[in-house]
Chain A
Amino acid sequence: MALLTFSDKGFYCPPGDFYIDPWRQVNKAVITHAHSDHARYGHRQYIAQQDSVPLLKLRLGSFIQATGYPYGTTFSIRGVKVSFHPAAHVLGAAQVRLEYKGEVWVVTGDYKLAPDPLAGSFEPVPCHTFITECTFGLPIYQWPEPTQVFTEINDWWRENQEEGRTSILSAYSLGKAQRILCSVDAGIGPIYAHGAIENTHDVIRQMGIALPKTERITDKTNKKDLTGALVLTPSSGMASNWIRRFADPVTAAASGWMMVRGNRRRQSVDRGFVLSDHVDWNALNTVIGELHPEKIYVTHGFTDLFARWLQDQGYDADVVRTEYSGENEEPLEEVTG
């Protein structure tokens, strides 16, 4: 039997009567991670990996009713066994494993294979049915070594600093920003962050997780202090008036889309770094090859093409339409928040 059905509200589990990452209001929502396209407003109850809970409260309001479980702990919802497993996407991101009458399904949410300083290492979970994202499910997306990318970011920052300029780097406020913060050479100079990112940092620090030092950019921030600094901002900050406050800025974006030169130009940033918290083409194929599930559903991104590719490889693969947006620009409200 189908452990999950695909409704216009999202993935629904009939025996457990709950949804996974639904995009319309429901009673009980199991959430893979706190990105806004997966964690929507207005559900009566949220169930997530325990590190996700403070992030959900930050983003959706402290009043939400949310329950957290650690990775690897199995709990039961109306007889369906549910457990969270590391997805290495962002802090608290989890694959959701469901087991009912011997049948096992896994919903990956978003994930990557490269280890993450806050989100740990991806754990492959054997299953009958595998529901995977494929945001970057085309062979043009093959990530370079992250260590090499961080070296490039360090060199770029240093070069701008030598010229007395401010380095502005746009990155997703939850996940990418912390990954960069923990991986660049903080010895080069001070690191500043946009309010939306700094709010996330505050919550993470309150959870007892140490992050390198950052300064919040406020109206009182002195332009002069920013010379030679690295400033982290969500991409929407790049497009708004917010960026005008910097004297002689050099802009860059860190995202998987930067793999293609045309996208760098379209983002109108001076420089693009290829850094993604999603699986690339090779990683997707590796994971699927390893799990060899009986049935695969793909969501997010180049679904039609990737499903056709999997069918060509002899898999039973289909597309599920969702309303997830993938690694896109963040909504503007996060900038003012």
Chain B
Amino acid sequence: MKRFAFLYRQMDQTTSTNRKLQALVDYFQAAEHQDALWTIALFSHRRPRRTVTTTLLRLWAAESAGIPLWLFEASYDMVGDLAEAIALVTPPPERSETLRTLKDWIRFMQELKDVDEEAKRKAILEAWSQLEQDERFLFNKLLTGGFRIGVSQKMVTKALAQVLAMDENAVAHRLMGDWTPDNTTWDALFQSDSALDDHSKPYPFYLAYALEGAPEDLGALSEWAAERKWDGIRGQYIHRGDTWFLWSRGEELVTDKFPELETLMKIIPPGTVLDGEIMPWKEDKPLPFADLQKRIGRKNVSKRLMIDIPVIFKAYDLLEWQGKDLRERPYQERRALLDPIIEAIPPGYPIRLSPMVPAGSWEELTTIRSRAREEHCEGLMLKRMDSAYGTGRKKGDWWKWKIDPLTIDAVMIYAQRGHGRRASLFTDFTFAVLDGEQLIPFTKAYSGLTDAEFDEVNAFIRRNTLDRFGPVAVVKPELVFEIAFEGIQASSRHKSGIALRFPRIKRWRKDKLRKEANTFQDLQEMLEQYG
């Protein structure tokens, strides 16, 4: 655990990318393979199962610290993070344990699964009494399952490539897929060829950057291909051997959530990997993104749900064909292969091509982009014709060219307090539009204010609180803010009958009075036009 804690400290404390990378390299060189494997797993959100409830951990933390539970709860409230609060209040170790490494502590935790509460208590108290503060913090993070660390998958991959003397892309590929340290070993993952036989293994997704400048700056239009930017879930469809897999961008296997795509095995040959978008789709038109979320949220996908919200796979890239990795080939060539394959599929199968959008000039493309919302898209994607399919975020070959957000001027009516040390600050705000003399709340929004504005808004709220319900303050409805959002949909779950996508505060309209805010009528019209 000492070595892992040391790595964690280094990653946490330095801002230098080089030093972070070096720390990872040093760690992977020195650590035992099974420890290193767990480290990779934790960095890629493969967490061990929880074996102790947080309620019990709080009780035992108070016991270990020699304080009453109310004082522990108050302390936890201040810190805002349970793992950290426990690490801070529990006493320093009587003797510091050096023998157990990361994998041993994880096994220690896993073995608590089937023992009774008293045995769990003894084990946890013993663990705390042997670990230094930052080790206790990490141990607790493992226990509570909330492990997050500021290191990119790309950096881990880079460090491993250096240690293993392997190509970065090959390492990235081997790290993907459905493995955990419990079902594989270091050698099986990196050394043997069998890793490549793992049929489930997806390719790392190539990600696009948001285009900030003018499209003309990208050079001649002839070097670029344009496509619609769909509002679905990025996915990779794999058919290898006699099975199929569907991966989402978060490296999550979502095959079970979309059973209707199984039928694609009949018309897409084995040895094929497609990149595309999982889209809710009905009557040849996309459904709102919120519908797709309903499907993802459900544990079991019912027949009813599949009829109400059917999905299709919108294909836009071909990564593997006839068992061959095509990623190094130019985009143009991959599309030339992909288009006829998809177009040849008879109608009725849940797959569509994401067609290229032809245009004679950047101006023409700009006009097409401005109509994106009517076509239920978020804008356009620009992909360099001769680009290979990279890994992660190599800048410059793929761009997201989104349309400008919708905006509406709204009145702040409620403010809610934050957590931890921010408990003294209002951080979440609710906004309303006008309906005659009435105010109709329609969205929450946060962020987007400068620090100075944030302080000013907080001071206003403190002076102008009309009523209070727990952490929520009813604010004198006076301040007007411009709220930006990406989409608008009808919703039965919201009182206003409206749900916004990605609402945030764009700016404070100090120049506007309450009566100058937008009306419920305006909102309805937006819903009709863009919903």
The answer to whether A139 touches B89 (Cβ under 8 A) is: yes
Q: Which of B19, B71, B421 contacts A260 (CB 8 A)?
A: B421
Which of these, B16, B67, B80, contacts A139 with CB under 8 Å? Answer: B67
Cβ contact of B81, chosen from A250, A259, A262, A308, cutoff 8 A: A262
B458: shortest Cβ distance to chain A, in Å?
A: 14
Shortest CB-to-CB span from B517 to chain A, Å, is 31
Chain B residue nearest to A263 in the complex (CB): B421
- A219 CB–B CB distance under 8 Å: no
The CA of A263 and the CA of B79, in the complex, are separated in Å by 9
Give the chain A neighbours of B84 by CB distance below 8 A. Answer: 260-261
Contact partner of A140 (CB less than 8 A), chosen from B13, B68, B88, B451, is: B88
- Give the complex CA separation of A159 and B79 in angstroms: 29
Whether B509 sits at the interface, judged by CB under 8 Å, is no
Q: Which of B15, B78, B80, B451 contacts A138 (CB 8 A)?
A: B78
What mask results when residues 248 to 260 of chain A are scored 1 for a CB within 8 Å of chain B, else 0? 0010000001011
Are B420 and A262 closer than 8 Å at their CB atoms?
A: yes
Cα-based distance from A137 to B121 in the complex (angstroms): 28
In the assembly, what is the distance between CA of A140 and CA of B420, in Å? 12
* B15 in complex: contacting residue of A141, A250, A257, CB < 8 Å: A250
A139-B88, A140-B85 are known contacts. Are A309 and B16 too (CB-CB below 8 A)? no
Residues 1-40 of B at the A interface (beta carbon under 8 Å): 13-16, 19
Chain A residues within 8 Å of B81, by CB? 261-262
The interface residues of chain A, by DSSP majority, are classed as helix
List 8 interface pairs A-B (beta carbons < 8 Å), by A numbering: A138-B75, A139-B88, A159-B14, A263-B421, A266-B421, A271-B13, A308-B70, A309-B67
Range, interface on chain B: 20 to 34
Nearest CB of chain A from residue B47's CB, rounded to whole Å: 19
Chain A residue contacts of B80, Cβ below 8 A: 260, 262
* Residue B494 at the chain A interface, CB threshold 8 Å: no
Q: Within 8 Å CB of A156, what residues of B?
A: 13
* A333 in contact (CB, < 8 A): no
Q: Are A260 and B79 in contact (CB under 8 A)?
A: yes
**Are A262 and B71 in contact, with the CB atoms below 8 A?**
no
Per the bound structure, the CA–CA distance linking A140 and B19 in Å amounts to 30
Q: What chain B residues lie within 8 Å of A261 (beta carbons)? A: 81, 84
Selected contact of B421 from candidates A139, A250, A262, A271, CB within 8 Å: A262
B61 nearest in chain A by CB position = A139
A295-337, CB under 8 A of B: which get 1 and which 0? Answer: 0000000100100110010000000000000000000000000
14 extra interface residue pairs, beta carbon distance < 8 Å, beyond A239-B451, A312-B68: A138-B75, A139-B65, A139-B89, A140-B78, A140-B85, A140-B89, A156-B13, A159-B19, A257-B421, A262-B79, A262-B81, A270-B15, A271-B13, A305-B71
CB distance from A43 to the nearest CB of B (A): 28
Give Cα A271 to B9, complex, Å.
Answer: 11
Determine if B422 is an interface residue (Cβ-Cβ < 8 Å): yes
Q: How far is it, in angstroms, between the C-alpha of A308 and the C-alpha of B420 when the chains are bound?
A: 20
**Inside 8 A of A262's CB, which chain B residues have their CB?**
79-81, 420-422
Chain A CB within 8 A of B74 CB: yes
Give the residues in chain B near A266, CB-CB below 8 Å. Answer: 421-422
Task: Tell me the minimal C-beta distance from B75 to chain A in angstroms.
Answer: 5
Give complex CA distance A259, B81 in Å: 13
- Please determine whether B15 and A260 come into contact, CB atoms closer than 8 angstroms: no
* Chain B residue with the shortest CB-CB distance to A268: B451
Chain B contacts for A257, CB-based, 8 A: 421
What 9 A-B pairs come out closest when comparing CB atoms?
A: A140-B88, A139-B89, A270-B15, A140-B75, A262-B420, A305-B74, A138-B75, A260-B79, A262-B80
Give the CA-CA distance A261 to B81 in the complex, in Å. Answer: 9
A142 near B74 with CB under 8 A, answer no
Mask for B342-365, Cβ within 8 A of A = 1, else 0?
Answer: 000000000000000000000000
Inter-chain CA distance A138–B71, complex, in Å, is 8
Closest to B88 in A: A140
Q: Does A163 contact B (CB under 8 A)?
A: yes
Task: Please encode chain B, from 400 to 444, with 1 for each CB lying within 8 Å of some chain A CB and 0 for all others.
Answer: 000000000000000000001110000000000000000000000
Cα distance, A140 to B74, chains bound together (Å): 10
Within 8 A of B (CB), among A119-157: 138-142, 156
Given contacts A139-B65, A266-B421, A305-B71, contact A259 B88 (CB under 8 A): yes
Across the interface, do A309 and B420 meet the contact criterion of CB distance under 8 Å?
no
Complex alpha-carbon distance, A257 and B13, angstroms: 17
Q: How close is A22's CB to chain B, nearest CB, in angstroms?
A: 25
Which residues from A are CB-within-8-Å of B88?
A: 139-142, 259-260
A140 touching B79 by the CB < 8 A rule? yes
Task: List B contacts of A271 (CB < 8 A).
Answer: 13, 15
How many Å lie between the Cα of A10 and that of B89 in the bound state? 33
- Report the Cα distance A259→B88, complex, angstroms: 8
A138 to B77, CA, bound (A): 11
Chain B contacts for A141, CB-based, 8 A: 88
Separation of A260 and B79 alpha carbons in the complex (Å): 6
Q: Indicate the member of A140, A260, A263, A266 with the most B CB atoms within 10 Å.
A: A140
Q: Which residue of B lies closest to A261 (CB)?
A: B84
Quick one: closest A residue to B420, CB to CB?
A262
Report the nearest A residue to B15, measured CB to CB.
A270
Of all chain B residues, which has the CB nearest A304?
A: B74
**Interface readout for B230-274 with A: 1 if CB under 8 Å, 0 if not?**
000000000000000000000000000000000000000000000
Contacts of A263 in B (CB 8 A): 421
A259 to B421, CA, bound (A): 12
What's the least CB distance linking B115 to chain A, in Å? 29
Structural contact, A139 and B75, CB atoms closer than 8 A: yes
| B67 surroundings in chain A (CB, below 8 A) | 139, 309
Q: Which of A159, A163, A250, A309 contacts B71 (CB 8 A)?
A: A309
As a 0/1 sequence over residues 234 to 253 of chain A, the CB contacts with chain B under 8 angstroms (1 = contact) are 00000100000000001000
Expressed in whole angstroms, the Cα–Cα distance for A331 and B390 within the complex equals 51
Question: What CA separation (Å) do A263 and B84 show in the bound complex?
Answer: 12
Closest partner residue, chain A, to B89 (CB atom)? A139
Q: For B14, give the chain A residue with the smallest CB separation.
A: A159
Q: How far is the CA of A156 from the CA of B80 in the complex (A)?
A: 27
- When chains A and B are docked, how far (Å) is the Cα of A302 from the Cα of B70? 14
Chain A residue with Cβ nearest B68: A312
Most buried by B among A138, A163, A239, A257: A138
**B319-333 contacts to A (CB < 8 Å):** none
With the chains together, A163 CA to B65 CA distance in Å?
41
Q: Which residues of A contact B79 (CB under 8 A)?
A: 140, 260, 262
- Complex Cα distance, B89 from A261, in Å, reads 14
Given the complex of chains A and B, what is the CA–CA distance between A257 and B72 in angstroms? 18
CB distance A260 to B74 under 8 Å?
A: no
* B144 CB to nearest chain A CB (Å): 15
Quote the shortest CB–CB distance from B427 to chain A (angstroms).
11
Smallest Cβ-Cβ distance to B90: which chain A residue = A139
B68 touches A260 (CB 8 A): no
Which residues of A are found within 8 Å of B16, using beta-carbon distances?
A: 159, 163
Set A159, A163, A260, A302: member contacting B420, Cβ < 8 A: A260
Contact residues of B between 37 and 96, Cβ < 8 Å to A: 65, 67-68, 70-72, 74-75, 78-81, 84-85, 88-89
Contact of A139 with B19 in the complex, beta carbons under 8 Å: no
A312 proximity list for chain B (CB < 8 A): 68
CA distance A309 to B73 in the complex (A): 13
CA distance A257 to B424 in the complex (A): 15
CA gap between A259 and B137 in the complex, in Å: 13
How distant is the Cα of A297 from the Cα of B65 in the complex, in angstroms?
24
Quick one: closest A residue to B72, CB to CB?
A139
A142 to B132, CA, bound (A): 13
- Across-interface contacts of B71 in A (CB, < 8 A): 138-139, 305, 308-309
Asked if residues B78 and A260 are in contact (CB atoms below 8 Å), the reply is yes
